[in-house]
């Protein structure tokens, strides 16, 4: 199998890597995380002030696990049937105006990232099957050991992870994609109902395949992930009732339950909270576009900085950069000592698990009908159209925003686009500096603030360019002070991706070159620069 890895170097370079033998690489990359989980929980001791009740029953415990694996198989089978029979056929025709059932926009609204949900659950199901097979082999070996037959030591080594560790690893991988899906599922179901009513082609297609799908509707399939997460929490609670305090599974099961509950509860009050945050921003920022309000958008972080004159390196304006999941917005602050987030009537709180900002409306402003508009909107731009580069050499906490608008067929009319993006379009290079001159903040702290913003920017940009229906995996790394983010795709889907990198590095076997050339010929846009890494025995060339 040949896969594609999209690496985004935050300081300008962009790469694509095609990987041969993705499974081996994935196992190698995740080995350290598995060891980390083992070491983190080996000394788990229940709190003496909070005694846990349990009833030791190994048979009941084994039955619960077996039943859970069966239900996970059924869940994955249902998702696969939905995607194979409905989602993929409709997506494949989306760009063909003669044969389309739903357009690309409508597909995204209804199906969202359901393929990514299937991907992570198939990986979970596969590890569960391996666990079950290894457990069965170990039991058989134990039964035959009394007859003089020795158990194969290699089979004892196959079970690298306990059941609890498997659950914990995969539930943590669920967080991002399930979060995105659960936040939009209510809108997706509503949009689906509207399309069935207003789009006779879509309704006719669903009616045509109704016989093969039983009584399940699109609405029902979209509800499956949320229902499954609820069952994860119930299963883990029941399993822990029969897990002793000294059982090796207990630490991981405890953490897995916390993660499952976080996923199940994350969408409850999210939209209400989001509306309040954006409402405060609209009231606080003069000329802030009303289109800021969107249930598909969230605020990741902010950075107070000074915009510098690139010629003299002198401060020109105090600004605040607001990083959203799809855009970067710059607003002007009234002074260098003011906090942009506080002027929006918001408090800082960073989520310890995801690193995302958890924002709350300040109590002092919650009863106020209108906030003073001390901030002034300068402009915003899509994350697809902007990059972060190094700043001035003599200012280590500086950085440059470089605009490179590529979407000439924007749905926004030119006048509105100029009003919103004119700040970036007027000057493609803008220099910023995180300065402690007015606040006496240590340089080390300022560097950390800058680096954290750069990292969050890279994550957001990579996520925004991600195409979940084709995504195999996402990963990130840091090397020599540079951040790299990878979206991994199959080579066969590369030509379908609208956002491609200017530079590419291909990792593949020599016999795969012709296949890659064939794929590149189908691309409307290809990389400007393409390099190759080819494995040879124990080295590369």
Nearest one of 57, 19, 11 to 487, comparing CA atoms: 19
Q: How many degrees, rounded to 5, is the angle at CA 345 between CA 344 and CA 348?
A: 95
Let me know: does 500 contact 10? Beta carbons within 8 Å: no
Strand order in the sheet with 315-324: 285-286, 375-382, 327-332, 315-324, 299-308, 429-433, 398-403, 386-390
pLDDT in tens, 141-185: 555 555 545 444 444 444 456 888 888 989 998 888 888 888 788
Q: How far apart are CA 286 and CA 511, in angstroms?
A: 59
Let me know: does 5 contact 16? Beta carbons within 8 Å: yes
Helix/strand/coil for 438: coil
Nearest one of 322, 324, 362 to 346, comparing CA atoms: 362
Q: How would residue 2 be classed by pLDDT, with cut points 50, 70 and 90?
A: very low
Structure-block tokens of residue 108: 């995204």
pLDDT in tens, 181-208: 887 888 888 888 888 888 999 989 988 8
Q: State the average pLDDT over residues 86-101.
A: 88
Phi and psi at 328, nearest 5°, equal -120, 125
Give the lowest-confidence range in 99-103, 445-449, 463-467, 506-510: 506-510
Q: How far apart are CA 144 and CA 506, in angstroms?
A: 50
Higher per-residue pLDDT: 531 or 313: 313
pLDDT score at 74: 93
Q: How far apart are CA 425 and CA 67, in angstroms?
A: 58
Q: Is the pLDDT of residue 45 over 50?
A: no
pLDDT score at 43: 38
Q: Is the pLDDT of residue 30 over 50?
A: no
pLDDT score at 95: 82
Q: What is the DSSP letter of 52?
A: P
Q: How far apart are CA 261 and CA 230, in angstroms?
A: 8
Most confident stretch, 24-33, 61-70, 414-423: 61-70
Higher per-residue pLDDT: 74 or 25: 74
pLDDT score at 314: 92
pLDDT score at 16: 43
Q: Is the pLDDT of residue 539 over 70?
A: no
Look-up of token digits 């003496």? 48
pLDDT in tens, 252-267: 888 989 888 888 876 5
Q: Is the pLDDT of residue 12 over 50?
A: no
Let me know: does 322 contact 284? Beta carbons within 8 Å: no
Q: What is the DSSP letter of 149?
A: P
pLDDT in tens, 319-378: 999 999 899 999 999 999 888 888 888 765 544 444 444 555 555 444 444 445 689 999
Let me know: does 178 contact 117? Beta carbons within 8 Å: yes
Give the lowest-confidence range in 6-15, 369-378, 428-437: 6-15
pLDDT score at 83: 92
pLDDT score at 9: 39
Let me know: does 358 contact 350? Beta carbons within 8 Å: yes
pLDDT score at 502: 65
């Amino acid at each position: 199998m040949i896969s594609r890895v999209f690496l985004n170097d935050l300081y300008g370079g962009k790469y694509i890597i095609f990987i041969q033998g993705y499974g081996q690489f994935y196992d190698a990359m995740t080995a350290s995380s598995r060891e980390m989980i083992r070491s983190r929980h080996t000394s788990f001791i229940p709190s003496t002030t909070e005694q846990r009740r349990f009833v030791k029953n190994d048979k009941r415990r084994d039955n619960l696990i077996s039943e859970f694996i069966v239900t996970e198989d059924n869940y994955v089978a249902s998702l696969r049937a939905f995607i194979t029979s409905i989602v993929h056929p409709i997506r494949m025709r989306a760009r063909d105006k003669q044969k389309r059932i739903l357009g690309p926009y409508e597909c995204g609204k209804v199906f969202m990232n359901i393929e990514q949900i299937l991907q992570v659950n198939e990986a979970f199901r596969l590890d569960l099957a391996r666990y079950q097979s290894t457990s069965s082999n170990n039991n058989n070996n134990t039964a035959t050991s009394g007859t003089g037959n020795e158990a194969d030591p290699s089979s004892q080594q196959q079970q690298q992870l306990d059941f609890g560790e498997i659950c914990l690893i995969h539930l943590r991988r669920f967080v991002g994609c399930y979060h995105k899906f659960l936040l939009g599922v209510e809108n997706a179901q509503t949009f689906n109902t509207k399309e069935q009513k207003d789009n006779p082609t879509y309704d006719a297609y669903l009616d045509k395949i109704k016989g093969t799908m039983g009584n399940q509707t699109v609405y029902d399939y979209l509800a499956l992930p949320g229902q499954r997460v609820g069952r994860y929490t119930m299963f883990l609670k029941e399993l822990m009732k029969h897990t002793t305090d000294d059982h090796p599974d207990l630490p991981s099961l405890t953490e897995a339950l916390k993660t499952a509950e976080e996923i199940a509860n994350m969408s409850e009050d999210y939209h209400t909270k989001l509306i309040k945050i954006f409402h405060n921003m609209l009231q606080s920022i003069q000329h802030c576009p009303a289109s800021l309000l969107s249930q598909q958008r969230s605020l990741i972080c902010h950075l107070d900085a000074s915009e510098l004159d690139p010629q003299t390196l002198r401060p020109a304006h105090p600004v605040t950069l607001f990083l959203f999941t799809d855009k970067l917005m710059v607003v002007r602050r009234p002074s260098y000592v003011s906090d942009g987030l506080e002027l929006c009537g918001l408090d800082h709180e960073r989520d310890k698990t995801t690193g995302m900002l958890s924002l709350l409306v300040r109590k002092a402003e919650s009863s106020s009908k209108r906030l003073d508009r001390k901030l002034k909107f300068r402009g915003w731009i899509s994350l697809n159209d902007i990059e972060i580069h190094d700043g001035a050499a003599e200012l280590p906490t500086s950085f440059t925003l470089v605009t490179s608008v590529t979407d000439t067929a924007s749905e926004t009319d030119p006048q509105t686009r100029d009003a919103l993006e004119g700040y970036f379009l007027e000057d493609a290079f803008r220099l910023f500096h995180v300065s402690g001159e007015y606040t006496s903040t240590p340089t080390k702290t300022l560097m950390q603030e800058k680096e954290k913003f750069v990292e969050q920017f890279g994550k957001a940009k990579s996520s925004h360019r991600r195409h979940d229906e084709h995504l195999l995996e996402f990963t990130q790394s840091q090397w020599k002070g540079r951040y790299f983010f990878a979206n991994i795709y199959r080579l066969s889907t590369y030509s379908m991706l609208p956002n491609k990198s200017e530079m590419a590095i291909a990792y593949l076997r020599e016999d795969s070159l012709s296949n890659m050339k064939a794929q590149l010929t189908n691309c409307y846009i290809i990389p400007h620069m393409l390099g190759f890494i080819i494995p040879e025995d124990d080295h590369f060339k």
